[in-house]
Amino acid sequence: MTMIKKLLTIVAIAALFASCTGEGGSKENSETSLSETIQTEIPVIALHEFDAKAGDFVDKEVYVEGIVDHVCKHGGKKLLLVSDEGDVHVESDTRFKDELVGSEVVITGLVTEFRVDESYCLKMEEDNIKSHSEGETDDELFDRKIAQIEYYRDSMNTAGVDHLSYYSLEYVSHVEKK
Amino acid sequence: MKKLRKWSRILHRDIGFFFIGATIIYGLSGIALNHMSDWNPNYSIDIDEFVTDIKLDKAGITDEKVLKLLDEVDNRKNYKKYYFPQEPYLKIFLKGGSTVYVNTKTGNGEKETLRKRAVFYQVNYLHYNPDAWWMWFSDIFAGALIFLAITSLFMVRGKKGAWGRGGIYTALGIIIPLIFLFFL
């Protein structure tokens, strides 16, 4: 009986410790206040202009406002921010809360660029053939990747450019609009 | 050797007790996440179809019309936001992650109701390292598993130990992953 009492005391102390450190220790993305976040020197990019303007702000902080369409189910470190006119992917080192889905938020993030050029297409082509020949990917995925590579090349030819830029945001903080 | 056996048993027993909870958490979430292609391990999803007469086209949309639709298909208290992902579709977000899609031309719609799976949602949440503290705890747990595996070699002597039946099981446990690695 004394043993059980001792054990319960240890569990109670551990629970108390956990409750004290739970808030401060958490690295889950939490909301900051509007006044804390909004700084006038950081530019605001409207979602419908994001693809057109993001190139001017690569590696710089911007504000983007939209509705959280979904949070990645695999780990919760990506979310899709949407509006009627556009969308942008936001990635983070830490998790987003599931409860953010459907919320209107202002996200502060660093603009990141992902470039697709001919060398990327060749590498993708090579990897696709290799993984398919080794049986790692099925016919459906193989064909889908071929179509994707074709799409990249067609897009570059149509636009007369040697690369395509895809922009996303690296999460810094967010404010939920009420 | 006698001392090593004694301490292996003591530490294996006590560390084993300590990590019973973590073992169950990672065991359950491991099974759940292994079968992600067959089911959603975090949520159960119900889809209900409906048809509405409410005019919800983009030009004439108002919050009140959306709330009126929710009175029909769900509950206006659950309303969060709406947007038009592409014409003529309207997507309405509800509290708890559920959503309503409506084809505003035809009035046909679907309500997708999400419900967190009890136990699985929580263990999967922990499996994905939600927190720096948990990451350290789970690293210690992973180290402890290696320690438990090593101490198990010294716990029992004789024909049931590492030089007898235990050794055969150990060899099988190593050979099976190697077969998968090299031949499958």
Length of chain B: 184
- Interchain pair B81, A27: CB under 8 A: no
Determine which of B18, B81, B136 to mutate to test the interface with A (most A C-beta atoms within 10 Å).
B81
Contacts A67 to B, Cβ<8 Å:
81, 83, 93
As a whole number, the mean pLDDT across chain B is 93
What distances in angstroms separate CA B117 from CA B41, B44, B69, B128, one per listed residue?
A: 7, 6, 27, 16
Mean predicted confidence (pLDDT) in A147-153: 94
- Interchain pair B85, A82: CB under 8 A: yes
Q: Which residue has the tokens 């830029």?
A: A165
Contacts A25 to B, Cβ<8 Å:
131-133
At B84-121, the pLDDT tens digits run 998 899 999 999 899 999 999 999 999 999 999 999 99
Looking at A17-26, A115-124, B47-56, B172-181, which range is the least confident one?
A17-26
- Interchain pair A102, B99: CB under 8 A: yes
Which two structure tokens, joined as six digits, stand for A117?
């050029």
pTM higher than 0.95: no
- Say yes or no: A26 contacts chain B, CB-CB below 8 A: yes
B24 CA: distance to closest CA in chain A (Å): 18
Alpha carbon distance A29, A39 (integer Å)? 19
Q: Residue A170 pairs with which residues in a beta bridge?
A: A91, A110
pLDDT bucket at A134, cuts 50 / 70 / 90: confident
A85 CA: distance to closest CA in chain B (Å): 8
Residue B37's pLDDT is 83
Q: What percent of chain A has pLDDT over 70?
A: 78
- In this predicted structure, the answer to whether residue B132 has a pLDDT above a threshold of 90 is no
Kind plus residue range of the DSSP H or E element containing B145: helix B132-155
- Interchain pair A95, B58: CB under 8 A: no
Residue A2's pLDDT is 55
∠ Cα A141 A143 A149 (to 5°): 100
Looking at A32-46, A157-171, B6-20, which range is the least confident one?
A32-46
- In this predicted structure, the answer to whether residue A4 has a pLDDT above a threshold of 70 is no
- Give the type of residue at A37: T
∠ Cα B25 B27 B31 (to 5°): 115
Among B40, B58, B93, the residue with its CB nearest the CB of A102 is B93
- In this predicted structure, the answer to whether residue B63 has a pLDDT above a threshold of 60 is yes
Mean predicted confidence (pLDDT) in B53-77: 94
At A73-105, the pLDDT tens digits run 777 899 999 999 899 999 998 889 888 999 999
Residue B143's pLDDT is 97
- Interchain pair B81, A82: CB under 8 A: no
Between A26 and B163, the more confident residue is: B163
- Interchain pair B97, A101: CB under 8 A: yes
- Interchain pair B131, A102: CB under 8 A: no
A149 CA: distance to closest CA in chain B (Å): 25
Alpha carbon distance A118, B68 (integer Å)? 52
- In this predicted structure, the answer to whether residue A30 has a pLDDT above a threshold of 80 is no
Count how many pairs of residues, chain A against chain B, have C-beta atoms within 8 Å. 47
- Looking at residue A57, the DSSP 8-state letter turns out to be G
B80 CA: distance to closest CA in chain A (Å): 6
